Amino acid sequence: MSSLEKVVGVDGDRRDTLSKVTGRERFSGDYKVPGALALAIARSTEAHALIKNIDSSKAQALPWVVRVFTARDVPGENSYGIIPITKDQPMLAEGKVRFKGEAVALVAAETLEAAREAAALIRVDYEPLKASFTPEEALADGADKIHEKGNLCFEHDSLMGDPDKAFAEAAVVVEDTYTTSSIEHSYMEPESGFAVMEDDIVAVTVSTQNPHYDHADLCRLLGLENDKVRVKQATTGGGFGGKLDLSVHSYVALATLLTGRPSRLTYTREESFAASAKRHSFTMKYRTAADAEGNLLAVDAELIADTGAYASYGVAVAMRAAVHAAGPYMVPNSRVYSRAVYTNHVFSGAMRGFGVPQVALAHESQMEKIAAKLGIDPIELRLKNALKPGDKTITGQVLGDSVGIRECLEKIKAVRDGWGAAADDPDCFRGIGVGAMLYGIGNTGVSNPSTAQIRVNEAGGVTLYTGCADIGQGSDHALLAICAETLGLSREDIALVRADTKLTTNAGATSASRQTYISGNAVKDASEKFMAKAIEETAKITGKDIADLCFTGTGVKGAEREVTLTEIAESLKEQGNELIGEGYFDPETVPLDHHTGQGKPYSTYGFAAQLTRVHVDKATAEVKVEKLFAVHDIGKAIYPQGVIGQISGGSAMGVGLALMEEFDHASDKNFDTYLIPTVLDVPDVEASFIEHAEPTGPYGAKGVGEPALIPTAPAIVNAISDAVGVRITSLPANLERVHRALQLMGGK
C-alpha cells in the first residue's frame, strides 16, 4: 500500500514487540533442536600456564558422552579475532592458557548433565607461568610473556602542533591521573546458539551482533570454504559490544561438523562472566593547558588499557580512546600516547563506547578543574571551547556541518538554570554536574562499508535484505523506515530478511553506533536503485518516457496503467537480468598516520551533553542521582522512540559505570556480587535530542547507541565534586571512595 505520509521520524509499531510481550519470541536457547548434542566446556583453572597434558579418558568413558575435543581437533587455523592484525585467540587452548576460564576442552554428550559431568572429569596438567594482572606488571622487566610478540598488544601516538610550547606559555595547567574499572556487559541473555548440518553446510543460529564476521572466523577455524558455513542471527538479548566476539559459535560448529549431529550450547551466567569480553580498565594521565580567558591550549594524555589475555577489540579501543582524548573541544596542540597491554585477565573487548567513556571521565574532569581555577562557570568554559563546523579535531580533521555540541550545551545551561536550588537537606550534600562528548560514527580510520538489497517477493511486494543484526535496539525498525520513506511506502509494506549470511550480504558489525548511518545509507541507496531500475524497465516495456513514469510501491505507473513489480521482474528475468536494487555505503575516512595520528578517522560525529543532580548522604556516603537531563545531537531521529530508548538505557549503564560497577576478576561470578543498576538506582532520565542534519547521513541521521552512555559518568562525578568539594578520579565512585572524599573535606 502506497502512503504519502512520512515514515522517517515516526515511531510506528516495531514488528518484534508483539511476540516479545506475549512470550512467543524465540531466542537461540528457546528453539527445540531435535537430536541435538549437549555441549560443555572444560575451562582453565590457571591464569597463565603451559599445558603439559590433557587427560580426557575418564570423561570419554562416561555413558552418554559422544566425544571430547581439544585443540588438536580444530580442523582449520586455531586462531581468531575481530581485527585482522590481532587474530590471537584460540577456540581451544593450544599449549598454554592465558586466563582463568579459558576453554581447554569441549565435551559433546547426549545430555547436558553428562556433558557437564564429563567436562569436570577432564584432567589438565599445568606448568604455571608468572601471571600479570595489571599492565604495569605485564610490562615490567621479568614478566612472563603472554604472547610470543610480548605483552604490549598495541600502541598509538598522536601529535598536533607544539604542546610543549603551549604548556610553557599557558596561564593555567591542570593535571591528574584517572582510572576506570573493568566492566561486564551484562546483557540479560547469556551467549547461546546451536548448529545443524544443512546438507554439507554447517548452519549456526546464534545470539550475535556480527554475523558476517562470525562467518569469516568460523570458516577460518573450521578450514571450510565460505559457502560451507552459514550464520543466522537469532533474536538477540542485548549485546553492548560483548556479542561481537565469537562465543558459543565455534563450539557448536565444531561439534556438528565433526559428529554430523546438531549440537547446542548456552553459557551459564557464571560461564558468561568468566569467558566473555569486558570493558577495558584504563589509567589515564592528563595534563591540560588553558590561557587566562579559559581557551584550551593543549592536552597531553597518556592512556594505558588492560586488554586482558587476547586482543579482541583492544586495538580499536586504544585507538579510539586516543582520537577522542580531548573531547568535543577545539584544542590546537596535543600529544596522546595510548597503549593496550596484555594481562592474564579474561580478554577485554568492545563495550559501548570503545574507550571513549573512559577518556570522557578524564577530559570532563580536567574541564572542571580549569573552570575552578579560573573562576569560570563550567558550562561557559565548555561553550567557549566547543567545536564548531570547520574546526579542527586533534587528528587534524576539519569538521563538516553537523556539529551540535554548542546547542547541546546551551540547552543544558537553560535546564540547569530551570532546576534552581534544591531544597536544603541537613542529611545530604547536593551538587550539579555536567558531562559533554563527541563520538565518531563508524570504525576508526578504516573502510567499513555496508551493503543491502531490495528485491521483489512472491507476493509482488518488496523485500529488504540486510546483514545488519538487530540486537534489541531497533535497527530493523529504523532501516525499514528509511526503506519505506525512500520507496514511498509504509514500513508494513516491506518484508525483511536480516542477518543471515546465506541470504544477506555484509553490513558490518552492529557496533560503533554505525548501523543507522552506514547501513541506513546502504538501504537508501538500494531503494533508490531499485526504483530507478523498475522505472527504466517500465519505460522499455511501455515505450513511455522515463520522466512520465512514477514508482508507486507496487509497480510503476504511466499514463494508462500500472505495470506491476512482478511484471517488471518477469521482463527483466527473460533478459537474464533481475529487478534488484543493490545498495552500498562506505563512510569517507583517511587512515591515521602511524607517527602523528593525523587523519580523518570518521566521516561524522555525534555530540551530547548531560546534566545531573546528585545527593550524597552525609552519614552513609550513598550517592543518589536525583535528576538526569540528556541532550544528544543525532542528526535526525529516524525512529525517535528508539533514540530516546538508547539515551535512557545508555544513561542507566552510565550510572553503573559511575557509581557501582567494578568487575572483580577473582570473585565476581554472577549478579549476586556484580551489581548493575536496578530501577531503584537510576533516575527518571529526561532524554532529548537535537537534529543537526548530517549532509551525508540517510535523511540527515548519525548515530546514538554509544553516545548515550558517554557523558553520564563524567556528569555524575562532577556533580559529586560539586556536592562535597572533593574530586573522585577513580571509577566507580562507590561507597568507599565517596566515604573517603567525605572524610577528606567534610563537605563544602
Partner 1 sequence: MFVEFTLNGEKVSAEISGETTALALLRENFDLIGAKEGCGVGECGACTILVDGVAVNGCLYLAGKLDGREVVTVEGVGGEDALDPLQKKFMEHGAVQCGYCTPGMLLSAKALLIRNPKPTLDEVKVAISGNLCRCTGYTPIVKAIMAATEEGK
Binding site for partner 1 (CB under 8 A): 11, 13-14, 16-18, 20-27, 29-30, 32, 185-190, 235-238, 240, 268-269, 471-474, 641-642, 644-645, 647-653, 670-672, 676, 678-680, 682, 684-685, 687
Torsion of CA 276, 215, 90, 185, to 10 degrees: -10
- Give burial (CB, 10 Å; 0-12/13-18/19+) of 580: middle
CB under 5 to 8 A by kind: which of partner 1, ligand FES, none does 540 bind? none
CB under 5 to 8 A by kind: which of ligand FES, partner 1, none does 88 bind? none
Using CB under 6 A as the binding rule, whether residue 241 contacts ligand FES is answered as no
Using CB under 6 A as the binding rule, whether residue 355 contacts ligand FES is answered as no
Shortest distance, position 18 Cβ to partner 1, whole Å: 6
CB under 5 to 8 A by kind: which of partner 1, ligand FES, none does 89 bind? none
Query: Rounded CA gap, 554 and 87, in Å?
Result: 47
SS3 track for 667-706: CCCCCCCCCCCCCCCCCCEEEEEECCCCCCCHHHCCCCCC
Beta-bridge mates of residue 455: 463, 580
Shortest distance, position 673 Cβ to partner 1, whole Å: 9
Using CB under 6 A as the binding rule, whether residue 188 contacts ligand FES is answered as yes
Bridge-based pairing state of the strands 562-564 and 555-557: antiparallel
Using CB under 6 A as the binding rule, whether residue 90 contacts ligand FES is answered as no
Query: Rounded CA gap, 435 and 631, in Å?
Result: 11
CB under 5 to 8 A by kind: which of ligand FES, partner 1, none does 302 bind? none
Shortest distance, position 268 Cβ to ligand FES, whole Å: 10
Closest to ligand FES by CB, 378 or 474: 474
Shortest distance, position 645 Cβ to partner 1, whole Å: 5
The amino acid at 185: H
Closest to partner 1 by CB, 61 or 188: 188
Closest to ligand FES by CB, 306 or 661: 661
Query: Rounded CA gap, 334 and 337, in Å?
Result: 10
Shortest distance, position 188 Cβ to ligand FES, whole Å: 4
Query: Rounded CA gap, 325 and 334, in Å?
Result: 9
Residue 719 φ then ψ, to 5°: -70, -40
Torsion of CA 154, 158, 164, 169, to 10 degrees: -130
Closest to partner 1 by CB, 177 or 670: 670
CB under 5 to 8 A by kind: which of partner 1, ligand FES, none does 651 bind? partner 1
Closest to ligand FES by CB, 378 or 677: 677
143-148's contacts with Cβ under 8 Å and 24+ in sequence apart are 144/48, 146/48, 146/98, 146/309, 146/342, 146/343, 146/344, 147/88, 147/98, 147/342
Shortest distance, position 249 Cβ to partner 1, whole Å: 19
Positive or negative torsion for Cα 79, 82, 88, 92: negative
Beta-bridge mates of residue 339: 155, 304
Shortest distance, position 686 Cβ to partner 1, whole Å: 9
Using CB under 6 A as the binding rule, whether residue 581 contacts ligand FES is answered as no
Q: What is the DSSP letter of 199?
A: T
The distance in angstroms from the start CA to the end CA of the chain is 64
CB under 5 to 8 A by kind: which of partner 1, ligand FES, none does 16 bind? partner 1
Closest to ligand FES by CB, 50 or 188: 188
Helices 356-374 and 378-385, packing angle to 10 deg: 110
Shortest distance, position 369 Cβ to partner 1, whole Å: 29
Query: Rounded CA gap, 398 and 375, in Å?
Result: 31
Closest to ligand FES by CB, 472 or 488: 472
Closest to ligand FES by CB, 18 or 188: 188
Single out the residue of 238, 400, 461, 747 in contact with ligand FES (rule: CB under 6 A): 238
Number of residues that this document lists for the chain: 748
CB under 5 to 8 A by kind: which of ligand FES, partner 1, none does 642 bind? partner 1
Burial 355-389 (b: 16+ CB within 10 A, else e): bbbbbbbbbbbbbbbbbeeeebebbebbbbbbbee
Query: What would the DSSP string read from start to end of 100-124?
Result: TT-EEEEEEESSHHHHHHHHHH-EE
CB under 5 to 8 A by kind: which of ligand FES, partner 1, none does 653 bind? partner 1
Shortest distance, position 728 Cβ to ligand FES, whole Å: 29
Using CB under 6 A as the binding rule, whether residue 472 contacts ligand FES is answered as yes
Closest to partner 1 by CB, 371 or 687: 687
CB under 5 to 8 A by kind: which of ligand FES, partner 1, none does 140 bind? none
Closest to ligand FES by CB, 151 or 651: 651
Shortest distance, position 614 Cβ to ligand FES, whole Å: 25
Grid coordinates standing for 359? 577518556
> Residue 559: helix, strand or coil by DSSP?
coil
Shortest distance, position 645 Cβ to ligand FES, whole Å: 9
Maximum Cα–Cα distance across the chain:
86
The footprint of ligand FES (CB under 6 A) covers 188, 238, 472
